[in-house]
Structure 1
Amino acid sequence: MNGQFAAALAVGLVALVAAGVGTLGLRRGHTVADFYVASRAVTPSRNAAAIGGEYLSAASFLGVAGLILVYGYDALWYPVGYTVGYLVLLVVVAAPLRRSGAFTLPDFAQIRLGSPSVRRMSSVLVVLIGWLYLVPQLSGAALTLSTQTGAPGWLGGALVCLVVLLSVAAGGMRSITFSQAVLFWLKFTALLVPALVLLTLWRRDGDTVGTGYPTARSDVTVTLASETAVHSPVLGTLDIVGTLDGAAVRGPVTVTVGAHVLGSGTVVVLHPGDVVPVIDRLPARTSAQWLQPLGSGIDHPLYATLSLILAICLGTMGLPHVLVRFYTNPDGREARRTTLIVVVLLSGFYLLPTVFGILGRAFVPDLLLTGQSDATVLLLPERMFPGWPGIALGAVVTAGAFAAFLSTASGLTVSVAGVLAQDFFPQGRKVLRHSRIGAFRVGAVLAVGIPYVLSLFGRNLSLAAVVGLAFAVAASTFCPLLVLGVWWPRLTPAGAVAGLLVGGGLATSAVLVTITLPLPAGWAATLLAQPAAWSVPIAFLVMVVVSLSTSHSIPPGVGRVMARLHLPEAPAGEPGSGERL
């Protein structure tokens, strides 16, 4: 069996399943409530699977394993934080958010504060965070399809956009609820089966990761597409054809300890036992250091780790595509049950990319030379299990990766399209149902089209790192708005606007600088790469101080709104909420 053909077949099957299940919405999506919140009739078990489907993104399926391969112990905070974030969401906002009766996050801001300004600013942030989160999904799709099938880089993202638009335009939230639930179990199985097989092989051979620098286990040929600065951790001889430090080389050449530059098109053939040079933007660490807490090699690791944990745990409650799913539960009690089930599902899932990251350190260390650590999950099966079994397992993980891109992109598209349709398109006071649905479909095209174009020109950053930046922006904006909006009756529109402006401005600026500018090592680069530790407290402080200084503008009827958020509903949920999914 040809590996590229098997991977292409797997991707095609997943795309057909996602499109087929999603188009069920053509016969079930009839009302505006169907498109926005699935008529608020999704059961906890199905909603939890759908949340798992959209939350376990490219960063979870591919990025976490790649980060563990590179950074080791310290990268374990990514899966821990992704899961703990739902506990915070459960305790703080899950049920009140559902009781608000909102369709979107800007709806909640409008209901709680009665301010068009807060609503407009919330809408802009929803779109910004959604696009920031969508770009790595489309980049991951391009990486997967080009790595596994040799397809051109633009095709993977285009395929995801096409399938997502078919599902979302068919029936909105009602359509993708079915699709995301199916895709969650597909990608869970796509990691579980290969992980069990590869762990069995590893234990059978009595293998270990070792304590020294990563070395090749078999002959591996690496071709560098562009000029690459690398660091050689040891003195050694490598088989290089091309240019090294500006000089033409061919065959075995001695490489000294330190920095070197390999020219575009240079071929490096790694033989068993060769210590792998590391691209300069990644740390060169022994496996003994890699296994130690704060041994990742990044600057100021304690601050970076704490800020990362804060961003992920608090950012979860500010992700628009996560929050919109809680509007689909029948009532607040069901929203809490949904969150508990999500925590269980995530806890099981995140064990699997951790396994791939550890095995990747031993079997695909050449990714440290190219910097393409996100390909760990894709390449590991054939590297550990050569022949048709490895090809089959590789096709399975490729299918799972595409399921991750499709399900997450679907949720993001619905959340962004809903906001675009309600807050950015001109409409009168009374809008016909078919007009609102049409606006939603146009919004869906914009929701995926613009991130797709951006993904074609984006830098080659780690998927999980880019998603982590989206979490930082969410934590610095919607987290303070939701926490104070739900629990502090003295929040004013002016305070909310000031906090969103300051928190969003600081975090977004840090994100843009990190993505676009090469920064020298030091505190400045670390603070910008992980801004949550300072941007979140500042956003909270600004909201509180400005609200206290504008206490005369507390919205009328705030007591009634707070009671609505915190008093339990009737167990049956809202009258006329529709059939349960």
Structure 2
Amino acid sequence: MQLNPWALVAIVMVAAVTYLLGHRSSRFATTTHDFLVARRTVRSRRNAAAISGEYLSAASFLGVAGVVLKDGADALWYPIGFTAGYLLLMLFVAAPLRRSGAYTLPDFVEARLESRSLRRLSTAFVVFIGVLYMVPQLQGAGLSLAIILPTPAWLGAIVVTILVALNVIGGGMRAITVVQAFQYWLKLFAIAAPAFALCAVFWTGGTPDGATPLAAPTSPVFLENAHIDVKTNVRLQVDDLTAVRVRDPGATADHEAVWLAHSEHEVAEGTMLTFPAGASVPVVTGAPVHNDNWLRPSSSGTDDLLSTYSLIFATFFGTMGLPHVLVRFYTNPDGKAARRTTVHVLLLLGLFYLFPTILGALARMYVPKLLVSGQTDGAVLLLPSAMMPGVLGQIVGAVVAAGAFAAFLSTSSGLLVSVAGVVSTDMLPGRVKDFRLATVLVIAVAATLAVVLRPPDISISIGMTFALAASTFSPLLVLGIWWRGLTWPGAMAGMITGGGSVLGALVYNNACSYTGWYMPWWSEQPAIITVPAAFAVTVLISLATRKHLPVDVNPIMLRLHAPDPLGFMRDRAVARFGQAEEKVRMGKGRHRK
């Protein structure tokens, strides 16, 4: 891959600004209250931009365009679900969660159900979800640098790890709030400006020479001779008779082959494939072969329909169970501000997701070779140079690279703060130095897994994380906030049922990727089974264990639902975190930076 000096400059600038903003904000962070919840003074619009910056991860910036390139209309459920989940969050969770006065999600669990055992289980799931979400962010950073610059894939993961750790260690939530708000606007510019520029190129030039229109009942074709290095074991299907030169792993010479029409072929990792210009593009088995099918929602059977509904369950319910999203609502001054924040987030996310969808459609025509290599997540990064050769394409590509790098930094920062906050308060004494120690431990584990594990499609791996969040914390939060009959044995049974089922599917799915076993739809999208099961088990066990209802359930429910001006809201653990003294000492300062 040829070095893009403009991309290198853009990435260095993003890294520098990120560090400087975090360093400047960290000067005001001196207590645990600052590190965990930014002193609860973040205003709604600032918090909405920070949440959006944190939430728009590698799955949004790179993965959405990649799955649109590969799956077409079926992939649109990803951006719809990622956004619509905030509607449920606004209606059912945001304001009551803030009124609880908790510092972390396990803290809310204990406040509502008065169970230390359930708190410890919640802590374990928060850590697992956070690390599971963080790993693809770091892997995406490695992929991006490897595509833009001639660097090994692990280097990007290490660079992001160091930058994120420095900011979080320096000031925790206080430091990253400004950083994430800035990075949302940077990401919006970095995806919108290239989209407008590339659409202008397409409208003035039309369909590229030799390409098939997106509505044509044929496969996409290679616009020029394509040399493709296959990075992972893959099964490809072809629609037409296709000549190909194959260099097997470890071989020094190519051999000619002819792939028959409507056939499938196993291709091993490390294989080099060369296709002539005009040849039909092979696609991964199961993906739409013809462009006209790509434009229509899948109608290939019950399994695809169930998989789609399962994705909807995961994204709609998973958003309200993501610890790094929920922790940001603790930073609002009150419940009203938390609900207003969610409304702003809906607007900001809806605006952003217009653009990856457009870029994924353009990639189907201009960089179809990604369908073969399995690196569809690189579509946004490779599209500018494919459509605009020369320096101008490099500059547009540099803008995209800056946004992608910001996506890795902002989401990784939010995840690290949420997980480190839980580890420091539940496994360590909860002081500032404990938060910093927890930060180092968590980011070290995530970075190690990112380098060791095989990277799947980013959006698919994030979808599994959403399924885990939807199957564990979503039932607990909805029922805990709106049903006074919830008991801690019921909540624990529901979390174990839902979370254990998702983890079982995840283990089986990874085993299939290494062994070649049959991979059923539920191993990739289990939420349609696990979420209803978790809700049902939680309700049934709670009804059977009514003697474990908290003795003060009525005052707790009143605090969650009473309007803010009535004054029932109060923060937990004042003595532990020194909030009363901080309000006296820093009462004149408000966190507007």
- Superposed displacement of residue 571, structure 1: 9.2
- Superposed displacement of residue 228, structure 1: 5.2
Residue in 2 that maps onto 1:275: 280
Match of 1:450 among 433, 445, 452: 445
Q: Tell me the SS of whatever aligns to 1:268.
A: strand
- Superposed displacement of residue 250, structure 1: 4.4
Does 561-570 or 263-272 show the bigger shift?
A: 263-272
> Are the aligned partners of 1:167 and 1:176 in contact in 2 as well (CA < 8 Å)?
yes
Matches within 5 A, 1:285-324: 285-295=289-299, 300-324=303-327
Distance 1:277 1:125, change over 3 A: same
Residue in 2 that maps onto 1:66: 66
Aligned residues: 566
- Superposed displacement of residue 120, structure 1: 0.5
Residue in 2 that maps onto 1:376: 379
Structure 1: stretches of 5+ with no match in the other structure: 428-434
Match of 1:411 among 402, 409, 414: 414
Look up the equivalent residue of 2:237 and give its one-letter code: H
Does residue 217 in structure 1 map to residue 230 in structure 2?
Answer: no
> Are the aligned partners of 1:37 and 1:173 in contact in 2 as well (CA < 8 Å)?
yes
Q: Tell me the SS of whatever aligns to 1:460.
A: coil
Encode CA deviations 1:123-151: one digit per residue, 9 max, x unaligned. 00000000110010011000001111011
- Superposed displacement of residue 278, structure 1: 2.5
How large is the Cα RMSD of the aligned pairs? 2.2
Residue in 1 that maps onto 2:565: 570
Residue in 2 that maps onto 1:560: 555
Match of 2:433 among 428, 438, 450: 438
Residue in 2 that maps onto 1:79: 79
Q: Tell me the SS of whatever aligns to 2:273.
A: strand
- Distance across 2 between alignment mates of 1:298 and 1:366: 28
- Distance across 2 between alignment mates of 1:454 and 1:262: 26
- Distance across 1 between alignment mates of 2:243 and 2:481: 62
> Are the aligned partners of 1:25 and 1:167 in contact in 2 as well (CA < 8 Å)?
no
Distance 1:170 1:25, change over 3 A: farther
Look up the equivalent residue of 2:113 and give its one-letter code: L
Residue in 2 that maps onto 1:432: none
Residue in 2 that maps onto 1:326: 329
- Superposed displacement of residue 236, structure 1: 2.5
Look up the equivalent residue of 2:528 and give its one-letter code: A
- Distance across 2 between alignment mates of 1:206 and 1:153: 35
Distance 1:380 1:61, change over 3 A: same
Distance 1:520 1:301, change over 3 A: farther
Q: Tell me the SS of whatever aligns to 1:209.
A: coil
Does residue 544 in structure 1 map to residue 562 in structure 2?
Answer: no
Match of 1:420 among 415, 419, 423: 423
- Distance across 2 between alignment mates of 1:226 and 1:552: 54
Does residue 352 in structure 1 map to residue 355 in structure 2?
Answer: yes
- Distance across 2 between alignment mates of 1:272 and 1:571: 71
Encode CA deviations 1:176-213: one digit per residue, 9 max, x unaligned. 00000001111110001100000111111232424210
> Are the aligned partners of 2:38 and 2:591 in contact in 1 as well (CA < 8 Å)?
no
Look up the equivalent residue of 1:527 and give its one-letter code: W
Does residue 492 in structure 1 map to residue 487 in structure 2?
Answer: yes
Q: Tell me the SS of whatever aligns to 1:146.
A: helix
Structure 2: stretches of 5+ with no match in the other structure: 208-212, 571-579
> Are the aligned partners of 1:283 and 1:298 in contact in 2 as well (CA < 8 Å)?
no
Encode CA deviations 1:90-144: one digit per residue, 9 max, x unaligned. 0000000000001100010011011101110110000000011001001100000
Q: Tell me the SS of whatever aligns to 1:173.
A: helix
Residue in 1 that maps onto 2:521: 526
Percent identity (aligned): 45
- Distance across 1 between alignment mates of 2:393 and 2:15: 22
Encode CA deviations 1:241-287: one digit per residue, 9 max, x unaligned. 5249x996446x5332312345665543344321112244x525100
- Distance across 2 between alignment mates of 1:559 and 1:260: 63
Residue in 1 that maps onto 2:36: 36
- Distance across 1 between alignment mates of 2:232 and 2:296: 33
Does 556-565 or 202-211 show the bigger shift?
A: 202-211
> Are the aligned partners of 1:490 and 1:551 in contact in 2 as well (CA < 8 Å)?
yes
> Are the aligned partners of 2:232 and 2:374 in contact in 1 as well (CA < 8 Å)?
no
- Superposed displacement of residue 421, structure 1: 0.3
Does 16-25 or 508-517 show the bigger shift?
A: 508-517
Residue in 2 that maps onto 1:187: 187
> Are the aligned partners of 2:103 and 2:330 in contact in 1 as well (CA < 8 Å)?
yes
Q: Tell me the SS of whatever aligns to 2:264.
A: strand
- Distance across 1 between alignment mates of 2:296 and 2:281: 20
Q: Tell me the SS of whatever aligns to 2:431.
A: helix
- Superposed displacement of residue 499, structure 1: 1.0
- Distance across 2 between alignment mates of 1:547 and 1:11: 51
> Are the aligned partners of 2:384 and 2:393 in contact in 1 as well (CA < 8 Å)?
yes
- Distance across 2 between alignment mates of 1:242 and 1:120: 52
Look up the equivalent residue of 1:343 and give its one-letter code: L
> Are the aligned partners of 1:3 and 1:391 in contact in 2 as well (CA < 8 Å)?
no
- Distance across 2 between alignment mates of 1:339 and 1:228: 41
Matches within 5 A, 1:171-186: 171-186=171-186
Matches within 5 A, 1:43-54: 43-54=43-54
- Superposed displacement of residue 219, structure 1: 3.4
Residue in 2 that maps onto 1:476: 471
Distance 1:393 1:551, change over 3 A: same
- Distance across 1 between alignment mates of 2:327 and 2:108: 11
Does residue 579 in structure 1 map to residue 585 in structure 2?
Answer: no
